[in-house]
Amino acid sequence: MKLVVQVKLLPTPEQAAALEATLRECNQAADLVARTAFTTGITREYDLRKQTYATLKERGLGAQAAQHVIKKVADAYTTLKANLRAGNLGPPTSPRRIRAENKPIAFRPHAAQPYDDRCLSWQLQAGTVSIWTTAGRLRGVAFICSDQQWAMLSAHRRGESDLVLRDGRWFLIATCDLPDVPLAEPDGFLGVDLGIANIATTAEGTRHTGRGLNAVRHRNRELRRRLQAKKTKSAKRLLKRRRRKEARFAADTNHVIAKRIVTEAERTGRGIALEDLHGIRERVRLRKPQRVTLHSWSFHQLGSFIAYKARRAGIALVYVDPAHTSQQCSVCGHTGRANRPGQARFCCTSCGFAEHADVNAARNIASRGVAGWAVSHAA
Ligand SMILES: [Zn+2]
């Protein structure tokens, strides 16, 4: 399985200037290739290379950089076509789609640039990289990362890394390729209910609350309101930074929760059952303040963190039908709206079983997980 490690670069001012000029030049070259692709209709990498490689070399790009630029454009066209096909830009008559189809793809001056091992080498012990730029090769560019990331890089880094400039800071996003871990036969399933007040609840009653996160969100929302009223350039910059910071904090929270859940499943030899959350936004109807929280809360991110951590640990994962998990009694199976007298309470009108609503839901998810696994592994 593939995953990425992001490390922060600490270039000197001179090194940063060279990196910046390189991104600029690569993206100008990419714009040029995109214009060729647009006017000729050629978007396959191989054919596009025949059309544009010589021109890029003349501009002074190295052979590797030229090839990466061409591949970047070809990939962008593949993505655009897939998006058009999937209807992500609307029907053929929508202005957005017409705009996208009637001009070449444009690259931001600082759009990320892929590097392979020939134009980027890692000196992990020294904590530096050597990287190609239009001003020649830069050696000894320092980077920082956690011990865990360092271990991951040294054991599993393969292939390309992306050079990224974000809010004035430099990053390398390296691809790591981990061997697949064989799946262990699960001894039961750990049911996980994803929610708003409690971000994740397991059938055993462990509740991972979003209290810290929701407090940060609330504070930021107030701040945003004040900044948006200002409409100055610096206010806009600050807003952008706050948004990124909030997203990072949310991702950290999700990582921690996902890790706890996967560790618990691993410790008890169980698989993990999650609700299939496709279309959660359409399904969930909430009062307005909660809807905002739900909207900004990324269930899918937590779900995907759990999925990849489970896969890394060889833990079985099943997605179950989410219908009525919160209204069904996990003891007798009776389903009804009246079983939910309050947001947090579950009380079965048929057998009298009472439990925290999220815990009851997680138990239903666990038993659906067992059933789902049995069906899919019957053969
Ligand atoms: Zn019941």
pLDDT in tens, the chain (379 residues): 888 999 999 999 999 999 999 999 999 999 999 999 999 999 999 999 999 999 999 988 888 899 999 999 999 999 999 888 888 788 888 888 898 889 999 999 999 999 999 999 999 999 999 999 999 999 999 999 999 999 999 999 998 999 999 989 999 999 999 888 888 899 999 999 887 677 888 888 888 876 777 777 778 788 888 888 888 888 888 888 888 888 888 888 889 999 999 999 999 999 999 988 764 544 444 444 444 444 445 677 888 899 889 998 999 999 998 889 999 999 999 999 999 988 889 999 999 999 999 999 999 999 999 999 988 876 5
Run of H or E including 238: helix 233-268
For position 121, what pLDDT does the model report? 96
Task: State the Cα–Cα distance between residues 18 and 86, nearest whole angstrom.
Answer: 39
Residue located via tokens 């390729």: 177
254: left (phi over 0), alpha (psi -120 to 50) or beta: alpha
For position 379, what pLDDT does the model report? 56
Q: How far is the CA of 210 from the centre of ligand 1 (A)?
A: 29
Q: How far is the CA of 186 from the centre of ligand 1 (A)?
A: 27
State how beta strands 207-209 and 345-347 pair. unpaired
Write b or e for each residue in 263-298: b if 16 or more Cβ atoms lie within 10 A of its Cβ, otherwise e: ebbbeeebbbbbbebeeeeeeeeeeeeeeebbebbe
State how beta strands 157-166 and 136-144 pair. unpaired
For position 292, what pLDDT does the model report? 45
Q: How far is the CA of 190 from the centre of ligand 1 (A)?
A: 21
Q: How far is the CA of 350 from the centre of ligand 1 (A)?
A: 5
Q: How far is the CA of 346 from the centre of ligand 1 (A)?
A: 10
Task: State the Cα–Cα distance between residues 176 and 148, nearest whole angstrom.
Answer: 13
- 212: which 2 tokens? 């810290």
Q: How far is the CA of 334 from the centre of ligand 1 (A)?
A: 5
Inter-CA distances, 350 with 127, 239, 355, 359, 364, Å: 64, 52, 14, 18, 16
| Beta carbons within 8 Å of 60's beta carbon, 6+ residues apart | 25, 134
Q: How far is the CA of 335 from the centre of ligand 1 (A)?
A: 8
Q: How far is the CA of 336 from the centre of ligand 1 (A)?
A: 10
Helix (H, G, I), strand (E, B) or coil at 332: coil
For position 297, what pLDDT does the model report? 54
CA angle (227 as vertex; 226, 233 as ends), nearest 5: 160
> Which backbone phi and psi does 356 adopt, to 5 degrees?
-60, 135
Q: What is the pTM of this model?
A: 0.70
Q: How far is the CA of 252 from the centre of ligand 1 (A)?
A: 37
Helix (H, G, I), strand (E, B) or coil at 205: coil
Residues near ligand 1 ion, CB 5 Å cutoff: 329, 331-332, 334, 348, 350-351, 353
Contact criterion met (CB below 8 Å) for 133 and 19: yes
Q: How far is the CA of 85 from the centre of ligand 1 (A)?
A: 47
Task: State the Cα–Cα distance between residues 191 and 194, nearest whole angstrom.
Answer: 10
Nearest to 129 by CA among 159, 155, 161, 151: 161
Write b or e for each residue in 147-183: b if 16 or more Cβ atoms lie within 10 A of its Cβ, otherwise e: eebbebbeebbeeebbbbbeeeebbbebbbeeeeeee
Inter-CA distances, 311 with 42, 138, 361, Å: 39, 38, 24
Inter-CA distances, 174 with 143, 149, 171, Å: 12, 10, 9
- 362: which 2 tokens? 């997680």
For position 314, what pLDDT does the model report? 93
Write b or e for each residue in 12-25: b if 16 or more Cβ atoms lie within 10 A of its Cβ, otherwise e: eeebbebbbebbeb
For position 223, what pLDDT does the model report? 82
Contact criterion met (CB below 8 Å) for 132 and 65: yes
For position 378, what pLDDT does the model report? 65
> Which backbone phi and psi does 258 adopt, to 5 degrees?
-60, -40
Residue located via tokens 């930021």: 220
Task: State the Cα–Cα distance between residues 52 and 60, nearest whole angstrom.
Answer: 13
Q: How far is the CA of 354 from the centre of ligand 1 (A)?
A: 8
For position 278, what pLDDT does the model report? 62
